Amino acid sequence: MNKPAANIDAVLSGPRRRRLLPSALIVLAAAAAIAAQHKPGDPGRDLARRVLKAQETSGFQIRARVILGEEEEGARRPAILQVRMAGRREGDTEKVLYQVLYPTTLKGYAAVIEQSRAPGISGFLFEPPERIRQLDPDLLKSPFAGTGLTIEDLAENFWRWPSQRVAGQGQAGKQACTVLESRPSKDAATAYALVRSCIDPKKLTPLWVEKFDAAGNRVKRISLEIPERGNRNRDFRVSMVVEGDPSLPRTRVEILRSDRGIRVSPDEFLVQRLKSLTGR
């Protein structure tokens, strides 16, 4: 929602850093795909490759709270989802699961996203109790479970795109960062023509990501938020705020619990397994 979409455990230090996962937006990205295209002296592709390399892990599990709508005082009470995320890597292939646990009306709704060295995104959307829809270009553009994140956003495959260019320096609050511009190939099945990300060059952490359509309009911005240490009013480790698209709700993804470098069973991504979990 990576996981909402950063090398989170590079942001923090000490035990907290070791326990924290990357966000849902770039978990388990395939560095091998960029490495295969990398040319010496190409700083853009080199930066994208290093960001992806920092995310490599055999498997992960995340629990997250997703808040839909404005959170200001006096605004309509936002809707809240509880989401489970899981990822597994086998060689050059990564599978990531996003599954809604709450509310009951959406329980079991899930997306399984698969990516490998070859371009493109495959997988399926599971709509309980029985409906299975294979991912296609139209479905990739649809919001996941009514959030501000599309299925393409969850896949976060722009790090794989062939054009990666360093576009100077940027700012995320008081923190300086390197701006990376990513552009897809002409025949790519994507809703975006340009993605700009602000990367901490030392920690390889995207601090914000902006997405643009073919007309050059910014349609989405994803910002990273790290709570101050000792802030007892915040029970999450890190959050991502997704906003900008007027047709989709403002979305905050809060990472509550995470485990990285673990073994995740391949059964987690099977249709029959998802159906069995729906009944719990």
Q: Domains of the chain: which residue ranges?
A: 8-158+227-278
The model carries a pTM of: 0.80
- Give the bridge partners for 255, in sequence order: 64, 238
Helix (H, G, I), strand (E, B) or coil at 69: coil
Distant-in-sequence, close-in-space partners of 55: CB < 8 Å, separation ≥ 6: 2, 7, 22, 26, 27, 28, 29, 31
Residue range 107-161, pLDDT digits in tens:
999 999 998 866 678 999 999 999 999 999 999 999 999 999 999 999 988 988 9
DSSP-assigned states of every residue in 189-233? --S-SEEEEEEETTTTEEEEEEEE-TTS-EEEEEEEE-PPTT-TT
Say how far apart CA 68 and CA 49 lie, in whole Å: 32
Distant-in-sequence, close-in-space partners of 193: CB < 8 Å, separation ≥ 6: 183, 184, 212, 213, 214, 216
What pLDDT does residue 157 have? 84
**What CATH class has 8-158+227-278?**
mainly beta
**Residue 182 CA: distances (Å) to CA of 47, 78, 196:** 11, 33, 6
What pLDDT does residue 20 have? 38
Say if residue 8's pLDDT is above 50: no
β-strand pairing of 218-225 with 238-243: antiparallel
Ranges 28-37, 83-92, 118-127, 257-266: which has the least confidence: 28-37
Say if residue 280's pLDDT is above 60: no
**Cβ contact 207:226 at 8 Å:** no
**Cβ contact 67:80 at 8 Å:** yes
